[in-house]
A and B are shown apart, each in its own frame.
Chain A
Amino acid sequence: MTFNKLLPTVPFLLSGTMLMGQAASGVDPADLLKPLKDSWPTYSGDYSGKRYSALDQINQSNVKHLTLAWMSHVTPGPDQGGRGARRPTMIVGGEGPGDISVGGGTIKSSVLEVDGILYFTMPDNAWAVDAHDGSQLWHYFWKTKGGTHIGNRGLGMWHNTLFMETPDDYLVALDAQTGKERWHKEIADLSQGYFSTPAPVVIGNHVLVGTGNDLDAPGVVQSFDPETGDVQWRFFTVPMKKGDPGMETWGTLDAARHGGGQAWVPGVYDPDTKLYIFSTGNPTPAFTNGTRGAGDNLFTCALIAVNVDTGKMAWYYSTSPHDMHDYDSAQTPVLVDAMYNGKMRKLLLTAARNGYYFTLDRVTGEHLVTSKYGVYTNWAKGLNQRGAPIYDPEKNATVSGSLVSPTSDGTTNWEPASYSPDTGLLYVAQDNGYSIFYLTDVDPRGSMGLGGKEEAQVGSGGSFLTAIDYVTGKVAWKRPYYGNGGGGGLLTTAGKLLFAGDGSENLVAHDIATGKPLWHTRIGHVTNPPQTFLLDGHQYLIAATGDTLWSFLLY
C-alpha cells in the first residue's frame, strides 16, 4: 500500500522508472569513504560499522513529534504488487525452474538510500522504492534452485550497479535505474549445502561476498570484479591443505576442510590499512568434537583481517576458540578511532554471540579488553593468553544434559550493534536465554552440521538494551526489555538518540545517555536495523516489520 501523491501532477503514462530519470549518479567508491550522514550507500551506512549518523535534525527535543511519512508493503515472488500508474516494473531472473514455492518473506536487510531511492531485499527479491512516498519503482525476482531461505541482509552498490546474493548462491548485478540484470555469477555450490545471505560490500573495485553453510563445508570470502563478475581472490576461513595457517589447531586435514567458519554477515573496512575485517561462524560439526582435535579450530568463530586487494590475511583473533555451542562470531564489528590508555588508537569493538565483549587494535589484532557482558553466561572457565574465553567441557552438550546460557541463538546474533562517539559507548541488545543441551549421538566420529544434540530452551534471565564502555568492557548501563528486544539491530545519531525495536512491537527512540524512551510507535516487530537519511532537507527514519517498510519524519 503506498500513497500516490505525485499522481495528479504527472502525466499518467509516466512509469515509475521514468520518474527517477533525473537522479542517478549512483555510488562512487570514494563516496563510501565518508562518515555516515545524508545517504546510506552501503550495508552499515559507512565502512566503520558504527551505524552512527551525523544527522541531528531529529533530536531529543523534537523526536516526540516524529510522525509517519508513508509505509510500503511489498509482495515477494513473481506476482506483481503496486497499483495504478506507478505500478512497478517487474523483472524476473534466475536459473531455477520457477515452480519452487518459498512462501512469504521478511525484510531483514539494511536499506540503501542513494539519490532519493531506497533499495532493499528479501531472499530472491530486490526492490527500488521512491524515498519520498514509498511507491515501488521496480521489483526484481530471482527464480531459485533452492537453498536455505532464512534471510538476506541487503545490497551493495558500485556506481549505478547493485549487487545481491541469492539463497542458491549467485551474485546478481542489477542496473539500479531499471532493475534489469547486468550479469550473474555462481559464487558457491548449492549441492554442497551452501546458501548465501550477506549484503555484498563494495570497496574500490572489489565486491566482497560471503556465504553460509551448515553441511560441514569450508567458509570462504570472495572478491569479484564489479564490472565483469570475475573472481579476483578467494580466502578460505579454514585450512584446505597441509601447511596452511591454522592446520595445527585441527585433528585432521579432513576435519579442517569440513570445519565450517562461514562468513555470513558483512564485514567492515579500514581504508588506512586496506584491511577488510570480517567475522566467522561456528566450526562443524557444531556440537560434537569428532575429529576436530583439541585445538582452537582456526579460523572459525574469529575476526579475520585481510588485505582487500590481495585477500591475504594480516591478523586474526579467535573470539570463541573451539566453539561447542554454535556461537557464531557472525557479528559485524565496529571500527572506532578513540583514546585508550592515554593514546589515540585504531580500535575494533565487538560484542560476540557467546556473551563476551572484546576491544582489539584493528591494525595488528592485538587484544586489549575482554569482558563478560552476558548476565548469566556460563559456558567458559576463564580466559586464555590472548584474552579469549576457554570453553568448559562440562558445559558442552552432554548425555544427561547441561544447562547453558546463552542458548545457541546467543547473547546477541546477526543484528548489528551501534557505537556513538558522543558517549563512547557500544550499544547492543542482549538476551540471556538458557538451554539444556543434550548429546544424542555419542559416536566418537562426531555428528555433522548442527546434529548430534537436542537443545531445549527452558527460559530467559532477561533481555536488555546494553551500553558497553570500550575502555573497560564494563556495562555502563542496561535497560530491561519486556520482550526480546533489539530485533533487527540498532542505530545511533548525532541527535543523541538510539533507535531500536523493543521486542514488544514498538519502534523506540531512546535517550542515548540513559536508554529512557523518548518516542515510540507501535508498528509491529522490527525486523531490520533502523536507519536514517536526509531528503529534500528533511531527516527521515526508516525501519521494516516483516513485509512492510515504514518511514517517519518531522513535518
Chain B
Amino acid sequence: MQAKNRLGAARLVGLTIVVTTRVMAQGALPVPAPPASDAQNPAAPGAGGERFRGLVPGKQRPPGDPSQIAHGKTLYGVSCRGCHGADLRGGDMGGPNLLRSQVALSDQNGELILPVIQGSRQDSGMPAIPISLQDGLAVAAYIRSVVATIGSQGRPPSVGKEAPSILVGDAIAGQAYFVAKCSSCHSPTGDLKGIAARITDPKTLQTVWVAGGVRRRRLPVGGAASPATVTVSVALPSGESVEGRLVQIDDFLVTVWLADGTVRTFRRDEDMPKVEVHDPMKAHRDLMAVYTDKDIHDVTAYLVTLQ
C-alpha cells in the first residue's frame, strides 16, 4: 500500500536521475513543488530527537552485542540456513522467510524465537534444533540484527537474486524505429551524438529518453532556453499578442516570461483571452501511448551504440 503523496519527493525513490515527476496535462511546465515536509517523507531527518529511517520497528530494539551476533551468525549457517536461506528470506528446503515473520519482528530477547528453535512448532514442520540456551539466544540476536536492516515500505535488506542487464532489445530494429519515428527531431550525429557516453547506465538512458530528457523540477527563470522550453502566446482583446516562455498556467491566470526579461500575468476566463501553449515535449508524451515495450527496448539497444 502506498498512499499518494502529491507533495512529497518520495515518488522519486528508485530513480537515479531527476526526471520531472509530473509532466503537466496541457503542456505546461511542472509547477514547482512545495518542499516536502518531514511528516510526508518518513526517511527525512526530523528537527531534532530521534529520527525516522528505514524500518522503524527495527530501530526500537537496542542494538545487540556484536560478538553474540557474530556467534549467532555462525550457528545460523550451521543449523538454519538450509531451510531459511542465507539471507533469511526462505530456502530451498521450504523454510519460510524469517524477515517478515511475526516472531522475528516482535522478539526482544529470544523469548519468542527460542521456543520455536526448541520445537514448539514441530506440528507445522519446524524441527527442534538441539543447541544450548546460550547458542539459541545468539541465533535470535543474529536474526534480530538482520531484521533491523529491513528498508522502508518492507524492502528486504538485499536483493535475493540480481536482475541481469536490461539490454534485451534488437539494436537493428531499434535503429529502424528511430529513423521512422524519432529522426525528424533527433539525430545520432547531432543532439544524440555520444549519448551513451554521457549516460553510461542503460537503465538510466532508457528512462531519460522515454521521459524526453532530464528535466529540472523547477522552472529555470532566467536560464537559457532549450529545445524543451514551453512557450505560450496570449491574444489580448486589444489585438496585442504576447508571446514568451510559459512560467505558470491554470484556469484563471497565465504568466509569461517575455524576451525582454519582463514577466507578465494575465487573467483568464474560459476562452478570454485566447491562450495557445506550445510544448515541444508533447510529442514525447503522446508516443507513450504508442510504443510497445519491445519498441522501447529496441531503441535503447540502439542508443547504447551511440558512444
Given the interface contacts A456-B19, A461-B289, does A149 sit within 8 Å of B52 by beta carbon?
Answer: yes
Given the interface contacts A212-B1, A504-B250, does A401 sit within 8 Å of B270 by beta carbon?
Answer: no
Q: Which residues of B contact A482 (CB under 8 A)?
A: 24-26, 28, 249-251
Whose C-beta in chain A lies nearest to the C-beta of B210? Answer: A458
Q: In B16-55, which residues have CB < 8 Å from any A CB?
A: 19-26, 28, 31, 34, 37-40, 42, 44, 46-52, 55
A191 and B37 contacting across the interface, CB-CB below 8 Å: no
Whose C-beta in chain A lies nearest to the C-beta of B249? Answer: A482
A517 and B96 contacting across the interface, CB-CB below 8 Å: no
Whose C-beta in chain B lies nearest to the C-beta of A145? Answer: B60
Indicate if A193 sits at the interface (CB-CB under 8 A). yes
A151 and B3 contacting across the interface, CB-CB below 8 Å: yes
Tell me the minimal C-beta distance from A398 to chain B in angstroms.
7
Given the interface contacts A405-B288, A483-B250, does A99 sit within 8 Å of B50 by beta carbon?
Answer: yes
A502 and B293 contacting across the interface, CB-CB below 8 Å: no
A214 and B161 contacting across the interface, CB-CB below 8 Å: no
Q: Which residues of A contact B249 (CB under 8 A)?
A: 482, 504
Q: How far is the CA of A505 from the CA of B253 in the complex (A)?
A: 11
Contact of B288 among A459, A505, A527 (CB under 8 A): A459
Indicate if B171 sits at the interface (CB-CB under 8 A). no
Whose C-beta in chain A lies nearest to the C-beta of B108? Answer: A191
Indicate if A239 sits at the interface (CB-CB under 8 A). no
Q: How large is the interface on A (under 10, 10 to 19, 20 to 34, 35 or more residues)?
A: 35 or more
Q: Which residues of A contact B167 (CB under 8 A)?
A: 400
B22 and A484 contacting across the interface, CB-CB below 8 Å: yes
Q: Which residues of B contact A415 (CB under 8 A)?
A: 4
Indicate if A438 sits at the interface (CB-CB under 8 A). yes
B250 and A215 contacting across the interface, CB-CB below 8 Å: no
Q: Which residues of A contact B57 (CB under 8 A)?
A: 146, 190-193
Segment touching A, from B67-75, B128-136, B150-158, B191-199: B150-158
Indicate if B102 sits at the interface (CB-CB under 8 A). yes
Given the interface contacts A146-B60, A401-B166, A459-B23, does A103 sit within 8 Å of B252 by beta carbon?
Answer: no
Indicate if A186 sits at the interface (CB-CB under 8 A). no
Given the interface contacts A103-B37, A150-B42, A448-B150, does A258 sit within 8 Å of B97 by beta carbon?
Answer: yes
Tell me the minimal C-beta distance from A105 to chain B in angstroms.
5
A213 and B105 contacting across the interface, CB-CB below 8 Å: no
Indicate if A281 sits at the interface (CB-CB under 8 A). yes
A520 and B251 contacting across the interface, CB-CB below 8 Å: yes
Tell me the minimal C-beta distance from A273 to chain B in angstroms.
28
Indicate if A481 sits at the interface (CB-CB under 8 A). yes
Chain B residues with a Cβ under 8 A of chain A: 1-7, 11-15, 19-26, 28, 31, 34, 37-40, 42, 44, 46-52, 55-57, 59-60, 85, 89-90, 96-97, 99-100, 102, 105-106, 150-156, 159-169, 203, 206-207, 210-212, 248-252, 270, 284-285, 288-289, 291, 293, 296-297
Q: A449-B153, A455-B13 are in contact. List 20 more A-B contacts (CB 8 A).
A: A150-B3, A151-B3, A193-B55, A193-B154, A197-B3, A214-B1, A254-B97, A258-B100, A330-B1, A400-B293, A438-B166, A440-B159, A441-B160, A445-B89, A445-B97, A448-B154, A449-B156, A460-B22, A461-B285, A546-B34
Chain A residues with a Cβ under 8 A of chain B: 76, 97, 99-106, 122-123, 145-151, 189-193, 197, 212-217, 254, 258, 260, 262, 264, 281-282, 284-285, 291, 326, 328, 330, 376, 378, 394, 398-403, 405, 407-410, 413-415, 433-434, 436, 438-445, 447-464, 480-484, 487, 502-506, 508, 516-517, 520, 522, 525, 527, 546
